[in-house]
Structure 1
Amino acid sequence: MLFFIFDIQPFAGLLFIIIILPRIPSGAIYIKFLPAAGRLSGFQKHLIIDKLKLSIWEFCRTTRKYVLLMRKIFCILVILWGFFSGKLPAQESKIDSVLNEILFDDEDLIEMVRSSQKFQFIYSRFNYDTKTFFAGRDLGLQQFNTTGQISYFHSIGISVGAAAVYYSQMDPKLSAMLLMAGYSGKFFHSADYRYRISYDRYFFPKSEVMQASPFNSSLGLGFTFDKKQVGTRFDYSLLLGNEMGSQLSWDIYGDIYVLKFGRLNNIKFEPEISMYFGSDQTIITQLGIVPGRFPRQYTVTEIEAEKFGWMNTEVKFPVTINYGDFDFELGYNINLPRTLFSDEQINPSSYFNFSIGYLISL
């Protein structure tokens, strides 16, 4: 059960406008606040006041509509999270999260949508991470990983893509491949509020060392609220295959221009905080006594315990350079993994990443 406590004071002014202002008679608003009010007739003054009240009311009604929508979206995600919170080992969750991250950034797509122009393009990207962690956890493998992708996007909202993940110390090193198809749309004809749905199909090479993944595909549902310099997004994935699982992430990001040169060239700082929710497992050893035996005999039982919850927080500090059709990114990332079991302690970790992307307009 989740409990949220809000401070009502910051919302007092808004509540006054929404609840009290519409009930105030027109004559109760002082005309002296209107410029040149003395030159207006009483009828004109009342018309201006009524129009002002109507504009404020329409603004508040629209704001309330967006707030109610975001509350419904959050409730849907929480319900899906609780209903499908099945088995999701950390290794498999990291593979899925890596594949999701290499797809074209949603905020970049939003910038194109804002222009309200038709477009279609192919985007390719290569990314290198100096270290590999699974849901923020270090499994003791000193290895780097690389990811590559190619994707097609159309202004009507459809997208298709393919991607692959390479781990330096795993066998086989090409650990996973992905085919993706998705659709992205707007709420209330506004590019600030967007939703997306997707289907991902995973392909894992056979290996005598790595255990076969119980998941081979996933259905994704996501929502983004973006105001150019700051934004947030929710993403939920329902993992399918021999078993069923789920994962949830919540990101808060910024988009700060450091330098602009030329018409489209720029350097940006794009900090981000990502919270990841998934399943973790541990082995609990129980010691028992065999009844009726003398001398006393003991039994040892190992029980696999599993919990679904907040597994990791990742803080990212990337600097991006957009030059022509190319984009470059250099970032420093910090993992703050959380234990889901009281007897575990997980140390923070960090790594660097570098990526290069190229966009081809069609």
Structure 2
Amino acid sequence: MRNYLLIIFCLFCSKFLLSQEIKKDDVDDLLDEILLQEDNLLDEIIQSLSNYQFLYVNVTYNSNTYFSGRDIGFDQFNVAPQISYVSSKGFYAGISGNYYNEFYPKWDVTVANLGFNKEIGQKKLFRYTISFAKYFYANEEDNILSNSANLGVGVRNKERSIGTQITGSYLFGKEQSFQIASRTYASIKLVKTKKVSLKFRPQLTIIAGKQTIELARIIPVGDDDTAMEYIKNDVFELINTQINIPLQLSYNSFDFEVGYNYNIPNPIGTETKLDATSFFNISLAYLIDL
């Protein structure tokens, strides 16, 4: 099921601080756009600094593991380390991985990502993102969809407090699939000082995709015998809806996040009614200005 209900890995996450010429809020919003593919970039970033580069190192702990919101029968946590490079020119790249405490091998996948993003329109409220990701699985049996080409378009309000992003992903390798994800978010400042920032940033993510469903039927063979015939059908359906409720705390170049996630998976094909799933996430990150 993992191979046919593959969700595009989000290589980069959370927000950040720059220690020099860029305002903290501007940088937080830029990283959210590039790493979370949010549309929170301020015009003042480009005006205040025409050329910058940085590395963002992040590690996330998830209290339980679900694939496309589905419980696959393993009560296990996972850890996802990430490192990303971001340039003021719009280019970004990164590498991440996933460790599962009940899988063998425990290090399941390594993902490399390269992308470009740019604002659209006079008011720069719109943004597009183009990226490519390569997946390196430790278990060759999982290596069915090993590449993804992604195109995203987003819009935000002038205050950067509400926005939405729609991303289309073409998954390919030994087989092919297509996926569309929409993410709507809000950003509410709870605490704001010179060195400390606390934000509440709820998100609603909806994922739909093309799935291959295998159906079986009994057919007559000769006069007294029967055989099983298998038919594969491609369908495009809703896969999962996720609600993410995080609190994000920043202090100088450090970021800390704790969140609650609630999945509402949609049954596909022969699946019966699926139970909702939930888990907690904790992440710690550090910004390195180059």
Band of TM-score, shorter chain: 0.7 to 0.9
From 137, 141, 162, the equivalent of 1:230 is 162
Q: Which has the higher strand share?
A: 2
Separation in structure 2 between the aligned mates of residue 191 and residue 344 of structure 1, nearest angstrom: 45
AA matched with 2:40: I
CA shift in 2, pair 1:139/1:359, >3 Å: same
Separation in structure 2 between the aligned mates of residue 97 and residue 266 of structure 1, nearest angstrom: 30
- Which structure would you say has the larger RCO, counting Cα contacts within 8 Å and 6 or more residues apart? 2
Unaligned residue ranges in structure 2 (runs of 5+): 15-30
Give the greater-gyration-radius structure (CA). Answer: 1
C-alpha distance after superposition, 1:150-184 (max 9, x if no partner): 11111111111111111111111111112211111
Matching of residue 128 in structure 1 with residue 58 in structure 2: no
Shift of 1:264: 4.6
Separation in structure 2 between the aligned mates of residue 113 and residue 127 of structure 1, nearest angstrom: 30
Separation in structure 2 between the aligned mates of residue 126 and residue 92 of structure 1, nearest angstrom: 27
Corresponding residue of 1:115: 45
Matching of residue 105 in structure 1 with residue 32 in structure 2: yes
Matching of residue 146 in structure 1 with residue 50 in structure 2: no
1:123–1:357 CA contact under 8 A, matched in 2? yes
Query: What TM-score comes out, normalization by structure 1 length?
Result: 0.67
Matching of residue 197 in structure 1 with residue 125 in structure 2: no
RMSD between superposed Cα atoms in Å: 2.4
Query: What TM-score comes out, normalization by structure 2 length?
Result: 0.83
From 222, 235, 252, the equivalent of 2:184 is 252
**Aligned partner of residue 97 in structure 1, secondary structure:** coil
Corresponding residue of 1:308: 236
1:144-223 equivalences under 5 Å are 144-206=77-139, 211-223=141-153
Shift of 1:139: 0.9
CA shift in 2, pair 1:193/1:259, >3 Å: same
Separation in structure 2 between the aligned mates of residue 258 and residue 358 of structure 1, nearest angstrom: 21
- Alignment length (residue pairs): 266
Corresponding residue of 1:268: 199
User: Identity over aligned residues, as a percent?
Assistant: 27
Corresponding residue of 1:359: 287
C-alpha distance after superposition, 1:184-231 (max 9, x if no partner): 111024442111111212211245xxx242222221111121221100
CA shift in 2, pair 1:315/1:259, >3 Å: same
Corresponding residue of 2:26: none
Corresponding residue of 1:350: 278
Separation in structure 1 between the aligned mates of residue 254 and residue 13 of structure 2, nearest angstrom: 16
Corresponding residue of 1:72: none
Separation in structure 2 between the aligned mates of residue 204 and residue 342 of structure 1, nearest angstrom: 27
